[in-house]
Structure 1
Amino acid sequence: MRHHAAGRRAVLIASATLAAPRLASGQEAWPARPVRYINPYAAGGPTDTLSRQLCQKMADLSGQQFVVENRTGSGGIVGNQAIAQAAPDGYTLGLGGIATHAMAPTLYARIPFDPHRDFTFVSGMWQLPNLLVVNNDIPARSVPELIAHLKAHPGRYSYASAGSGTTLHISGELFKTMAGVDITHVPYRGSAAAYPDIIAGRVHMIFDNIPGALAQARQGRVRALGVTSAARSPVVPEVPAISETLAGFDMSSWTCLCGPAGIPRDVVARISDLARRALEAEDLKRQYLEQGATAWWTTPEQIADFRAAEERRLAPVIRASGARVD
């Protein structure tokens, strides 16, 4: 009996020892329950679709649900405030990106979070460049020809955007600065609203997200001249990158997977590995390309450094655009 009792105690002690790390950190089994993913933009749009595809892939790989919650408002600020204020346990993650984490600090006099201090950055998620399309009557069939034409007619032409401070707007401002051309910004409530005027020639061009712009170009309503990413897009490889004419031009909409500051390092490593496996999956990469996006995994350190560099790079362009909101 004594031998049996001693053996039983040994098994219990061994079991407790094995369980101790999980109980001590509370995180060893991540994800041990459903994960909330906050998308700071509206349901049904490209950002929502891409987010849900990634969350579904991470759910398939991990065996836990990733529940998308659309928390909209103030151009993504409301949703990212919710991310920043969540418990740092790895069970609330969400979408950050160029608008909220690189442009907003310069664009707005006050935002309710600090992109540097208030977030744990896990990985990049995708990059989605814009496509420069012009009215068919403009006598330019390449970016160099367009620049030459605009320089010959300063102040005569205009470009549309989906609103002041959007990546569509800042793409135009970066183009103006780097090409040395004088074109007027005309903001609309969304890029779709601008196309009737672009097609009619009342406004002359737009730097729009690839899906919408490419659909218009393939129907012959506008002419595609260049993509705003650093290199050509695999979605439209026949269209040159603007950087082939203006070296260093790069204005892609990028997103990152982030959570509140203070998530334990071991949990960050687990989330990062899951994101890597999801973003490197061939079926997800194919789904992204169908929507003009490129799956984009990075290490936590790489995305944190990238975000900071983007804020520094875009700050003078935003200031020069006059888009700052006090």
Structure 2
Amino acid sequence: MFHSNSVVNSAPFIMDQVNFTPDDFEYAGMITAYQTGLVAHVDAPFDDLKGFIAWAKENPNFAYAALSPEARMYMDTLAEANGLEPNAVPVQSGGEMITALLGKQVIAAFSGGIHYRYPDELKTISATTTFRHPSAPDVASIEEDGYPIGMDTRTTLFLPKGTPRDVLERISDALSAAADDADFKKVTDGANIPIMYMNLDEARAEIEATYAKHKGILTDGS
């Protein structure tokens, strides 16, 4: 299965019917990462997270678009730490989120990266990942701003538990070759999805570490 690692390191903590653990699968590697972040219209009266928080303190009951439980978690954390009064506007898709931002129906939203398709109309306020976004390298991550809640979403190759090591190595090598492929890079560059390859051992370590971290973030806020 080629899927986001969130099915293992986040979904179990926000969906009652999901109970996967890192030990339920083998991992052949990871290849790309999503540029998730807090975004706003270019006309918004702030350009970074500190500016947004200062503005939000002066504008209670501000509306923001929330597509996922993670989006609400991020805003709830910021609100609790800074005495903000947000008003979540549920959206059902990335398209609805973009429409709400472009139409200025909300002041901000949490995006999975689709906002980078609109560089003249939308701006990133904070990278909600542990790394700065390649598409916006001057924008600080939420962890750099003092909130240890960055969560990375990486595309991962899952295999059944017990898949032999030599099979995993062959697939991991193939994934590495794809990461270096010029045509594949054109596709990912066009979609603003950076290539961040990890081999099979790095992928397992990433899954295990983020499973523990995300459990703390999504279940008790620690």
TM-score bin (small chain): 0.7 to 0.9
Contact 1:97 1:254 in 2 (8 A): yes
Confirm or deny: 8 A CA contact 1:179 1:246 kept in the other structure.
Answer: no
SS at 2:45's partner residue? coil
Higher helix proportion:
1
Alpha-carbon distance, 1:225 to partner: 2.3
Aligned equivalent of 1:64: none
- State the shift of 1:256 in Å: 0.9
**Bigger RCO of structures 1 and 2 (CA < 8 A, at least 6 apart):** 2
- Secondary structure of 1:117's aligned partner: helix
Q: CA RMSD of the aligned region, Å?
A: 2.8
Match of 2:93 among 166, 174, 190: 190
SS of residue matched to 1:270: helix
Residue 118 of structure 2, aligned match among 216, 225, 232: 216
Q: Whole-Å Cα distance in 1 between the matches of residues 127 and 99 of structure 2?
A: 21
Match of 1:301 among 201, 210, 213: 201
Over alpha carbons, which structure has the higher Rg? Answer: 1
**Matched residue SS, 1:292:** coil
Cα offsets for 1:252-277 (capped at 9, x unmatched) = 32121111111111111111111112
* Conservation of the 8 A alpha-carbon contact between 1:198 and 1:205: yes
Q: Are residues 223 and 277 of structure 1, via their aligned partners in 2, closer, same or farther at CA, if it must alter by over 3 Å?
A: closer
How many residue pairs are counted as aligned between the two chains?
221
2:2 to 88, 95, 114: 95
Q: Indicate the residue corresponding to 2:62 in structure 1.
A: 157
Cα gap change, 1:287 to 1:127, in 2 (>3 Å): same
The TM-score normalised by the length of structure 2 is 0.82
Q: Displacement, 1:180?
A: 6.3
After TM superposition, give the deviation of residue 200 of structure 1 in Å: 4.2
Provide the rounded CA distance (Å) in 2 between the counterparts of 1:228 and 1:175.
12
Identity of aligned residues (%): 19
- Whichever residue aligns with residue 51 of structure 2, its letter is E
The unaligned stretches of length 5 or more in structure 2 are: none
What per-residue deviation string (whole Å, max 9, x for no partner) do you get for residues 24-80 of structure 1?
xxxxxxxxxxxxxxxxxxxxxxxxxxxxxxxxxxxxxxxxxxxxxxxxxxxxxxxxx
Distance of 1:264 and 1:179 partners within structure 2: 50
Distance 1:298 1:216, change over 3 A: closer
User: After superposition, what is the alpha-carbon deviation per residue over 1:76-126, rounded to whole angstroms, capped at 9, x for unaligned?
Assistant: xxxxxxxxxxxxxxxxxx123233111111112232x63323211110121
**Unmatched tracts of structure 1, length 5 or more:** 1-93, 322-326
Question: Which one of 154, 157, 168 corresponds to residue 268 of structure 1?
Answer: 168
Q: 1:287 to 1:197 in 2, by over 3 A?
A: closer
TM-score scaled by length of structure 1: 0.59
What is the distance in 2 between the residues matched to 1:228 and 1:235?
14
Compared CA separation, residues 131 and 171, structure 1 to 2 (3 A):
same
